[in-house]
């Protein structure tokens, strides 16, 4: 995060400082006017100077924050202008010597302070916050009320009747047309499905990749946790409702007759049940925070440790993917056994005999998926009476686990794909334990094969100097990954199987897919890794980028710094115009190919370029066109991703200068929620080979 961004984000902290100082100074000034307390004048003058300085700093930080976007300009603009006016008035007051002008200037400054505060309150909390009405009070009460709808019937629409009330009460205050934080609007179905700057908020059928749920599940003290700290948080039932809705396809029109609630949610919404769904009682316990030395020990062993939130003792610890789950790592958990509520041991070397020695009295979530555990799972969880969620997917869990179900009153969900437990036994458990949701996946026949997910392709950087290391991963065992490294090859079942890290020492186009008998092959994932042939010595751009995304100007195109997220400060952003850059090789060299690293994030109006034009020159004055490459634009909303676009010159050319025109779509297409408005292109690196 750059200094300007840090200063901008300090605005909510800085803005309260001048208010307190200047109002205190005004109170003292009133005592001078009414009581003749002249001995207070030195204190008043000091307070005015400090208040004027802090007001100027607050106004400047607010201006920086406003430039980041996401605010209702009809409110933010007058808030900004009144802030500058107020700061200016008090700076004038600090230099004013004539007593006859002090009183009207002081009163004008306090009036400006009140008006600025009014617009600031409206911007943050909604209309009517400072000068509220009875209607505003009702809205606030409604926002804090639990949106549990007790009167349900088969015609109740799942989204309008259940999901939308949750969003209104917990999310819409920050994500509405007047204040679209992160470019996201949650007050309408269209805004929800369009997403924001971080990508789609909801991916139907895929809760793990749905940004809305990812933010909700983050630890409470995480910067990206939603709702933010200090705002009403989602209840357990509300979170489960949204997760169920997304998993079922995020249908905006389905009724309860078409999408019946699962048993655990039925109980929460049923008017006949006497059981109110409450927060897990473990969180009412008084537990001391874990010692810093215990947390440092875990982190030194490469374990992820996160807190639930500032001032809370509860911890989330993850071993996920660490195969060497040795006794030292497991013993280190003893230092946080009272505070540990969420433990992830998935894809590790944990075995049954290890589980026998693990006791965590306050554990709420446990993930043992893809481990060699089985009979002793019941022994471990019998010591965790507050357990809510258990994941035993792809383990050797057996029938012995049933003996603890009756002793775990908080248990709500068990994920158990690919275990040895017979389907008929699971059906019996569903009847016997209606409060527990047993997730066993989707039954399929050969005519209804499910498509595998795309494997994950990992590498260090898109541009490398010596060698690049490529890794391919799939979350489940028993799946083969086939790959190719040659541009002319198409990956097939005859292509090599991935067995370990791939090391390449030349420009490579890697493409891969996942395959398993009885399943449809996954889509192909691909990436281009470019070995640097030349180090560019200079660059220039024909027109400056948007002030919102300036990066470091033209040098950002050749500094080797790239990113895959929109929030990075590496991007040159152009709104409604093309980007034309000239690259300098330092001397005449042979040129065969040009690469462009760019970002796509359609919900934030950022599109992949629709074309590239390339020109070369020996002297930087006379340029020769070398051709162009067109790219098909999207026809629907896609997720945030980066692209490495390449252009092959028709023949090798000797040149010192290469001019590249990156063509923008210029306006959002007709299918986009913001159709007709100017769209963006983001570029952060160019390379010549």
The position carrying tokens 């050319």 is: 653
Interacting residues of 189 by C-beta distance below 8 A, sequence separation 6+: 159, 164, 252
- Closest alpha carbon to 441 in 400, 391, 403: 391
CA distance 21 to 334: 49
Tell me how crowded residue 454 is: count the other CB atoms within 10 A of its CB: 14
Q: Which of 98-112, 141-155, 606-620 has the highest mean pLDDT?
A: 606-620
Tell me how crowded residue 100 is: count the other CB atoms within 10 A of its CB: 7
Going by pLDDT thresholds of 50, 70 and 90, the confidence category of residue 67 is low
Interacting residues of 9 by C-beta distance below 8 A, sequence separation 6+: 1, 65
CA distance 322 to 580: 46
The per-residue pLDDT for 625 is 94
The 10s digit of each residue's pLDDT in 505-556 is: 888 888 899 998 778 888 888 887 888 888 899 999 999 999 889 988 999 9
* Ramachandran bin of 498, using left for φ above 0, alpha for ψ from -120 to 50, beta for the remaining angles: beta
The 10s digit of each residue's pLDDT in 249-265 is: 888 888 888 888 876 67
Q: What average pLDDT does this structure show over 622-642?
A: 83
Sign of CA dihedral 108, 109, 112, 113: negative
Residue 662 Cα distances to 182, 325, 538, angstroms: 26, 49, 18
The 10s digit of each residue's pLDDT in 86-106 is: 888 888 887 776 666 777 888
SS3 content of the chain, % helix, strand, coil (to 5): 35, 25, 45
- Closest alpha carbon to 150 in 257, 273, 235, 238: 273
Q: What average pLDDT does this structure show over 619-645?
A: 84
Going by pLDDT thresholds of 50, 70 and 90, the confidence category of residue 147 is very low
The position carrying tokens 């983050």 is: 218
Burial of 449 from C-beta contacts in 10 A (0-12 / 13-18 / 19+)? middle
- Closest alpha carbon to 572 in 430, 682, 451, 426: 682
* pLDDT above 90 for 662: yes
Going by pLDDT thresholds of 50, 70 and 90, the confidence category of residue 138 is very low
Residue 404 Cα distances to 341, 357, 376, 433, angstroms: 19, 17, 11, 12
The per-residue pLDDT for 483 is 92
Helix 73-95 to helix 41-67 angle (10° resolution) is 150
- Compute the radius of gyration of the chain from its Cα atoms: 30
Q: What average pLDDT does this structure show over 332-350?
A: 83
CB 367 within 8 A of CB 417: no
Domain spans in the chain, listed from the N-terminal domain onward = 3-125, 141-278, 282-439, 448-531, 538-688
CB 57 within 8 A of CB 102: no
* pLDDT above 80 for 652: yes
Output the CATH code of domain 538-688.
Answer: 2.60.120.1190
- The torsion angles phi and psi of 190, rounded to 5 degrees, stand at -65, -40
Q: What average pLDDT does this structure show over 41-58?
A: 79
The per-residue pLDDT for 632 is 82
Output the CATH code of domain 282-439.
Answer: 3.80.10.10
The per-residue pLDDT for 489 is 73
The per-residue pLDDT for 360 is 86
- Closest alpha carbon to 606 in 193, 192, 183: 183
Residue 138, helix vs strand vs coil: helix
The per-residue pLDDT for 132 is 43
Q: Check residues 674 and 611 and name the one with the higher pLDDT.
A: 611
Residue 63, helix vs strand vs coil: helix
DSSP code for 475: S
- The torsion angles phi and psi of 36, rounded to 5 degrees, stand at 70, 30
The per-residue pLDDT for 46 is 82
- Note if the bond before 439 is cis, omega within 30 degrees: no
CA distance 336 to 661: 57
The per-residue pLDDT for 281 is 83
The H or E element that residue 24 is part of is helix 16-35
Q: Is the pTM of this model over 0.85?
A: no
Which two tokens mark 268?
A: 């929460």
Q: What average pLDDT does this structure show over 454-473?
A: 82
The 10s digit of each residue's pLDDT in 576-613 is: 999 999 999 999 999 999 989 898 888 778 999 999 99
CB 90 within 8 A of CB 45: no
* Ramachandran bin of 652, using left for φ above 0, alpha for ψ from -120 to 50, beta for the remaining angles: beta
Beta bridge partners of 624: 616
Which two tokens mark 46?
A: 């000091």
Q: Check residues 537 and 117 and name the one with the higher pLDDT.
A: 537
The 10s digit of each residue's pLDDT in 296-331 is: 888 787 777 777 655 678 888 877 656 666 667 778
Interacting residues of 129 by C-beta distance below 8 A, sequence separation 6+: 121, 122, 136
- Note if the bond before 227 is cis, omega within 30 degrees: yes
CB 406 within 8 A of CB 385: no
* pLDDT above 90 for 170: no
Q: What average pLDDT does this structure show over 10-39?
A: 74
The separation between CA 232 and the C-alpha centre of its own chain, rounded to angstroms, equals 19
CB 532 within 8 A of CB 464: yes
* pLDDT above 70 for 294: yes
Residues in the chain: 689
DSSP E strands, 520-577? 525-531, 538-541, 551-554, 572-575
- Domain boundaries 448-531, CATH class: mainly beta
Going by pLDDT thresholds of 50, 70 and 90, the confidence category of residue 468 is confident
The position carrying tokens 């100077």 is: 49
CB 230 within 8 A of CB 401: no
Q: pLDDT averaged over the chain?
A: 79
């Amino acid at each position: 995060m750059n200094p300007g961004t840090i200063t901008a984000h300090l605005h909510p902290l800085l803005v309260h400082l001048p208010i307190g100082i200047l109002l205190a100074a005004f109170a003292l000034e009133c005592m001078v006017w009414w009581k003749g307390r002249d001995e207070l004048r030195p204190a008043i003058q000091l307070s005015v100077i400090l208040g004027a300085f802090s007001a100027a700093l607050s106004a400047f930080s607010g201006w920086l924050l406003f430039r980041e976007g996401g605010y209702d300009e009809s409110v933010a603009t007058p808030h900004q202008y009144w802030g500058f006016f107020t700061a200016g008035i008090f700076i004038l007051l600090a230099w004013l010597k004539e007593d006859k002008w002090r009183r009207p200037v002081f009163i004008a400054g306090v009036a400006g302070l009140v008006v600025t505060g009014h617009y600031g309150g409206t911007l943050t909390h909604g209309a009517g916050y400072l000068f509220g009405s009875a209607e505003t009070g009702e809205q606030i009460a409604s926002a804090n009320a639990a949106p549990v709808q007790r009167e349900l019937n088969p015609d109740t629409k799942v989204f309008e009747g259940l999901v939308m009330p949750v969003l209104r009460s917990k999310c819409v205050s920050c994500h509405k047309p007047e204040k679209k934080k992160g470019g996201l609007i949650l007050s309408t179905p269209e805004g929800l499905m369009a997403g924001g700057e971080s990508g789609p908020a909801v991916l139907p059928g895929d809760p793990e990749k749905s940004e809305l749920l990812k933010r909700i599940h983050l630890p409470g003290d995480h910067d990206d946790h939603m709702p933010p700290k200090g705002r009403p948080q989602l209840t357990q039932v509300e979170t489960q409702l949204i997760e169920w809705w997304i998993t079922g396809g995020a249908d905006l029109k389905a009724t309860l007759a078409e999408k019946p609630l699962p048993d655990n949610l039925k109980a929460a919404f049923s008017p006949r049940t006497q059981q109110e769904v409450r927060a897990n009682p473990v969180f009412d316990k008084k537990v001391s925070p874990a010692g810093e030395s215990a947390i440092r020990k875990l982190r030194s062993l490469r374990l992820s440790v996160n807190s639930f939130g500032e001032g809370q003792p509860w911890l989330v610890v993850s071993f996920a993917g660490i195969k060497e789950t040795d006794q030292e790592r497991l013993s280190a958990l003893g230092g946080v056994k009272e505070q540990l509520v969420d433990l992830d041991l998935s894809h590790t070397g944990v075995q049954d005999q290890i589980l026998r020695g693990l006791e965590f009295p306050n554990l709420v979530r446990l993930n043992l998926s893809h481990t060699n555990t089985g009979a002793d799972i019941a022994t471990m969880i019998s010591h965790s009476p507050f357990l809510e969620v258990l994941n035993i997917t792809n383990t050797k869990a057996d029938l012995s686990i049933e003996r603890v179900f009756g002793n775990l009153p908080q248990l709500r969900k068990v994920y158990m794909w690919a275990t040895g437990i017979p389907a008929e036994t699971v059906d019996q458990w569903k009847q016997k334990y209606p409060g527990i949701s047993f997730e066993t996946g989707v039954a399929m026949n050969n005519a209804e094969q499910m498509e595998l997910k795309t494997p994950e392709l990992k590498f260090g950087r898109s541009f490398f100097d010596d060698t690049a290391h490529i890794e391919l991963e799939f979350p489940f065992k028993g799946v083969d990954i086939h790959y190719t490294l040659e541009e002319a090859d198409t990956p097939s079942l005859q292509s090599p199987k991935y067995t370990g890290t791939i090391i390449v020492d030349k420009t490579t186009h890697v493409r891969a897919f996942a395959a398993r008998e009885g399943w449809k092959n996954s889509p192909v994932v691909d990436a281009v890794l470019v070995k640097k042939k030349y180090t560019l010595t200079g660059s220039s751009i024909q027109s400056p980028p948007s002030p919102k995304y300036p990066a470091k100007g033209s040098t950002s195109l050749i500094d080797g710094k790239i990113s895959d997220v929109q929030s990075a400060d590496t991007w040159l952003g152009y709104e409604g115009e093309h980007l034309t850059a000239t690259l300098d090789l330092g001397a005449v060299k042979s040129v065969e190919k040009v690469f462009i690293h760019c970002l796509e994030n359609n919900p934030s109006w950022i599109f992949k370029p629709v074309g590239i034009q390339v020109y070369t020159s020996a002297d930087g004055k006379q340029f020769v066109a070398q051709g162009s490459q067109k790219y098909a634009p999207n026809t629907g909303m896609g997720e945030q991703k980066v692209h490495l676009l390449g252009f092959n010159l028709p023949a090798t050319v000797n040149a010192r200068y290469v001019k590249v025109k990156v063509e923008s779509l210029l306006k959002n297409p007709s299918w986009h929620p913001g159709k007709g408005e100017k769209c963006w292109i983001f570029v952060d690196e160019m390379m010549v080979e």
